[in-house]
Amino acid sequence: MERISLPLTLRLSLLLLLLGQGSAVQAVNVYKYVDEDGVVSFSSERPHGRSYQDLGPSCAMAYMGCERAGWDWSKAPLNMDDYREPIQRAAERHGVDPALVRAVVHAESSFNRLAVSRAGAQGLMQLMPQTQRSYNVADPFDVEANLNGGTQLLSELLKRYNNDISLAAAAYNAGPTAVARYNGIPPFKETRNYVERVNLLYTRYRASLSASR
């Protein structure tokens, strides 16, 4: 029988949630791995010397299905420093506002260059294998390559939708076919949440970048 081990931080979060203190649950990166005794464990610290599954940045109950979309993204801490120069280079190369690139990176991977989604998307801008091939991204975990491929895709989507950020974000998440099928933002909860998230983050990053100049 599979055994599951939970670290103290996650056990405390579960207790708080059960006691009606869900607001105390904090954002963490959650890593799932199997130890030497075959125990399935979840940790907020990246395991060393063993294979693991990165469940990505989420609340402490991520492995139980907690949705990042439920957070108040208007108050989420911004990351103004990580990958500043690579993001700027990719943005300039493809004519995209660096604030938007940073917003998409934040929404997609929370700046974790090793992030892997359950669907198989990889890296900072969560590129699917087909997208990687289309944009010649040999290593999706290479910062420059991932940012270049993702920003090129974002640039093409912005041109396709006349710089409508909401439609471009929807297509980045669900694909242009879905946007065409529904003649706008698809009625998928995940996609609608994603579009809202990107717009909120973009507005905040743009303001922060403007203030720092």
The pair phi, psi for residue 67, each rounded to 5°, is -100, 130
CATH architecture of residue range(s) 84-212? Orthogonal Bundle (1.10)
- pLDDT tens string, the chain, 213 residues long: the values are 344 455 544 444 444 444 444 433 444 566 666 766 666 566 667 777 777 766 655 443 333 333 444 567 777 789 999 999 999 999 999 999 999 999 999 999 989 998 888 888 999 999 999 999 999 999 999 999 999 999 999 999 999 999 999 999 999 999 999 999 999 999 999 899 999 999 999 999 999 988 877
Q: Are 12 and 50 in contact (CB under 8 A)?
A: no
Report the DSSP beta bridge partners of residue 53. Answer: 32
The two tokens of residue 99 are: 């604030």
What's the alpha-carbon Rg for the chain, to the nearest Å? 18
Give residue 59's pLDDT: 42
Give residue 209's pLDDT: 87
Q: Is 67 a catalytic residue?
A: no
User: How many Cα atoms sit within 13 Å of 31 on the Cβ side?
Assistant: 15
Sheet holding 27-34, edge to edge: 3-5, 39-43, 27-34, 53-59
Domain ranges for the chain, please list them.
Answer: 3-66, 84-212
DSSP state of 81: S
- Out of 108, 144, 190, 196, which one is annotated catalytic? 108
Give residue 42's pLDDT: 61
Give residue 49's pLDDT: 74
The two tokens of residue 68 are: 């990042």
